[in-house]
Amino acid sequence: MMERFDCMIVGGGHGGAQAAIALRQAGFAGSIGLIGDEPVIPYDRPALSKEYLAGKKSFDRLQLRPPELWNEREVVLRLGRRVIALDSSAKVVVCDNDTAIGYGVLIWAAGGEPRPLSCPGHNLSGVHTIRNKGDCDRLLSALPTSQHIAVIGGGYIGLEAAAVLRELGKEVTLLEAQDRVLARVAAEPVSRFYEAEHRTHGVEILLGTGISELTARDGAVSGVRLQNGTAIAADQVIVGIGIMPAIGPLLAAGAEATRGETGILVDDFCRTTLPDVYCIGDCTIMRDGPGIRIESVQNANEQAQTAAKAVCGKPQPLRLVPWFWSNQYDLRLQTIGLSLGYDQTVLRGNLVDREFSLVYLKDGAVIALDCINATRDYVQGRKLVEAHAHVDPALLADDRIPLKDIAIAA
Ligand SMILES: Cc1cc2nc3c(=O)[nH]c(=O)nc-3n(C[C@H](O)[C@H](O)[C@H](O)COP(=O)(O)OP(=O)(O)OC[C@H]3O[C@@H](n4cnc5c(N)ncnc54)[C@H](O)[C@@H]3O)c2cc1C
- Assess whether the C-beta atom of 33 lies below 6 angstroms from ligand 1: no
Q: What gap in Å lies between CA 154 and CA 140, rounded to an integer?
A: 20
pLDDT in tens, 173-229: 999 999 999 999 999 999 999 999 999 999 999 999 999 999 999 999 999 999 999
Shortest-distance Cα residue to atom 38 of ligand 1: 110
Q: Which of 311, 341, 369 is where one domain is finished?
A: 311
Ligand 1 in contact with 14 (CB < 6 A)? Answer: yes
Domain endpoint, select from 239, 260, 281? 239
Residue 112 alpha carbon, nearest atom of ligand 1? 30
What is the domain-level CATH number for residue 374? 3.30.390.30
Are 231 and 261 part of one and the same domain?
Answer: no
Give the span between the Cα atoms of 195 and 241, in whole angstroms. Answer: 17
**The domain boundary residue, chosen from 210, 239, 268:** 239
SS3 293: coil
Range of the domain at 292: 3-113+243-311
45 Cα nearest atom in ligand 1: 17
> Are 54 and 27 within one domain?
yes
- Report whether 233 contacts 215 (CB < 8 A): no
Number of domains within the chain: 3
Q: Are residues 57 and 97 in the same domain?
A: yes
Q: How many angstroms is it from 112 CA to the middle of ligand 1? A: 7
Q: What residue owns the CA closest to ligand 1's atom 21?
A: 14
Instruction: Return per-residue pLDDT of the chain as tens, 410 residues.
Output: 899 999 999 999 999 999 999 999 999 999 999 999 999 999 999 999 999 999 999 999 999 999 999 999 999 999 999 999 999 999 999 999 999 999 999 999 999 999 999 999 999 999 999 999 999 999 999 999 999 999 999 999 999 999 999 999 999 999 999 999 999 999 999 999 999 999 999 999 999 999 999 999 999 999 999 999 999 999 999 999 999 999 999 999 999 999 999 999 999 999 999 999 999 999 999 999 999 999 999 999 999 999 999 999 999 999 999 999 999 999 999 999 999 999 999 999 989 999 999 999 999 999 999 999 999 999 999 999 999 999 999 999 999 999 999 866 55
Same domain (yes/no): 95, 123:
no
- Provide the percentage of residues in the chain whose pLDDT is more than 70: 99
Q: 232 and 370, same structural domain?
A: no
pTM of the model: 0.97
- 168 and 283, same domain (yes or no): no
Name the residue with the closest Cα to ligand 1, atom 7.
46
CA of 294 to the centre of ligand 1 (A): 12
How many Å is the Cα radius of gyration of the chain?
Answer: 22
- Using a 10 angstrom Cβ sphere, with 0-12 exposed, 13-18 middle and 19 or more buried, the burial of residue 218 is exposed
Between the CA atoms of 86, 65, 373 and 365, what dihedral angle is there, to the nearest 10 degrees? 40
